[in-house]
Amino acid sequence: MGSGPLNGIKVVEFAGIGPGPFCAMLLSDMGADIVRIDRKGGRGGSKFDIGSRGRKSVALDLKKPESVEACLKLIESADILQEGFRPGVMERLGLGPDVCLKRNPKLVYGRMTGWGQTGPLANAAGHDINYISLTGALHAIGRPGEKPVPPLNLVGDFGGGALYLAMGMLAALVEAQRSGKGQVVDAAMTDGASSLMAMFYGFTASGMWQEPHGTNMLDGGAHFYDTYETKDGKWISIGSIEPQFYAILREKAGLTDSLWDAQMDRTQWPAMKKKIEDVFKTKTRDEWCAIMEGTDICFAPVLSIKEAIDHPHNKARQTIVEIDGVAQPNVAPRFSRTESKIQGPAPQVGEHTESALKDWGFSAADVEALKKAEAI
């Protein structure tokens, strides 16, 4: 049984990729009991698949009516269902919202897609890079005169996708507990990524945000908000926006010339960036850390994943933990009373088929019938 604020919440997850598994990982980390429906005969279960940690795997052949009925029986006792197929797939399987909500009127039915359940692109293939392209987010990231730079798949899949799906499903769950009625949560990465851009839409409307990218305060255009190479070829980050923090930057970096007085003069930023680049190349990253880390400059070394594991702050908070020999992020956020814990590594496909079905109310005879039908 899980530990955390979602202890006792039951989730049926239909196996997918990207934002779906990550969303379910978050729910599991917070204590939810998650059964993932995998394809019978499928592969998976690597300990390196961190996003799939902490749930039970039930392998079913969804082409068989017995398997579909088994899903519906699981759904009858579930609080949440989450799926990430293209629109219409679950309906064709006989597991669409109408069918499932008829069996469980309080069910929260979460749907994760790139383009959403409706719209002219709803049935088109795509990935994170395409979804954030449509929102203005990708266009806003890059250096002047250079092409847009994909921010990994953090903005679409995980930020605009998984987190909005999790928030939406949990909000719908709270409402269902009041009303006794479930509903569908249509989480589209285009919607979520657009929502993440709210502040920048405001900046654009007010004239504060200008094109091309890489010329604004928060996209690397300002000398006081950027990354800089150090003497040893490593990198540091500076975010000294507020005047009091900028003053400390000037003090610690020796920026005494009157040029630095005009912090917010955009016309001076290119010249100031060139000068500060030269300043930061005079010392190694560790030397700058000794001078600036822990001050109100708003400073941090730019660490690789391997370096992040051993940083003293991360170690003190146990931000990174090791499970089965694999270093990985710990649970987040943290709760003062209902402590969250990782429930275990990623399961092998079908690892818990029989045990999970029995835990969720299937009798031994039910399981044997599914075996006989070759549904499991």
Which pLDDT tens digit goes with each residue over 68-124? 999 999 999 999 999 999 999 999 999 999 999 999 999 999 999 999 999 999 999
**Cβ pair 67, 376 in contact under 8 A:** yes
DSSP string, 16-70: -STHHHHHHHHHHHTT-EEEEEEETT-----TT-GGGTT-EEEEE-TTSHHHHHH
pLDDT band at 1 (very low <50, low <70, confident <90, very high): low
Share of the chain above pLDDT 70, in %: 100
For 86, left (φ over 0), alpha (ψ -120 to 50), or beta? Answer: beta
Average pLDDT over residues 338-350: 95
Q: CA dihedral defined by 107, 113, 117, 123, rounded to 10 degrees? A: -140
Number of DSSP helices (H) and strands (E) in the chain, helices first? 15, 11
Contact present, 188 and 115 (Cβ < 8 Å): yes
Domain boundaries, the chain: 10-196+321-372, 225-317
Question: Beta-carbon neighbour count of residue 351 at 10 Å?
Answer: 16
In which band, very low, low, confident or very high, does the pLDDT at 194 lie, cut at 50, 70 and 90?
A: very high
* Backbone angles phi and psi of 238, in degrees to 5: -125, 135
pLDDT recorded at residue 98: 98
Q: What is the pLDDT of residue 31?
A: 97
Q: In whole angstroms, what separates CA 325 from the centre of its chain? A: 23
CATH architecture of 225-317: 2-Layer Sandwich (3.30)
Per-residue pLDDT of 268-319, as tens digits, reads 999 999 999 999 999 999 999 999 999 999 999 999 999 999 999 999 999 9
Q: What average pLDDT does range 250-260 have in this prediction?
A: 96
Tokens 């992020």 — which residue? 329
Q: Are 77 and 153 in contact (CB under 8 A)?
A: no
d(CA 252, CA 239) in angstroms, rounded, equals: 14
CATH number of the domain located at residue range(s) 10-196+321-372 in this protein: 3.40.50.10540
Q: Which one, of 233, 243, 234, 248, lies nearest residue 299 by Cα?
A: 248
Positions marked catalytic:
127, 157
User: Distance between CA 27 and CA 350 in Å, rounded?
Assistant: 20
Mean pLDDT, the chain, rounded, equals 97
Q: Please, which pLDDT band fits residue 349 given cuts at 50, 70 and 90?
A: very high
Question: Which two structure tokens, joined as six digits, stand for 196?
Answer: 């993440």
| pLDDT of 29 over the 90 cut | yes
Let me know if the fold of 10-196+321-372 is the same as that of 225-317: no
The amino acid at 150: P
| Enclosing H/E stretch for 263 | none
Coil, helix or strand at residue 326: strand
pLDDT for 303:
98
Tens digit of pLDDT for each residue in 207-240? 999 999 999 999 999 999 999 999 999 999 999 9
Judge whether residue 172 has pLDDT over 80. yes
- Model confidence at 2: pLDDT above 80: no
**DSSP assignment string, 96-151:** SHHHHHHH-TT-EEEEEESS-SSSTTTTS---HHHHHHTTTTTTT-S-TTS-----
* Residues paired with residue 10 on neighbouring β-strands, in sequence order: 33
Average pLDDT in the 145-160 region?
97
The tokens describing 159, both together, are 């930020």
pLDDT number for residue 3? 84
Across residues 317-335, what is the average pLDDT? 97
Report whether 235 contacts 227 (CB < 8 A): yes
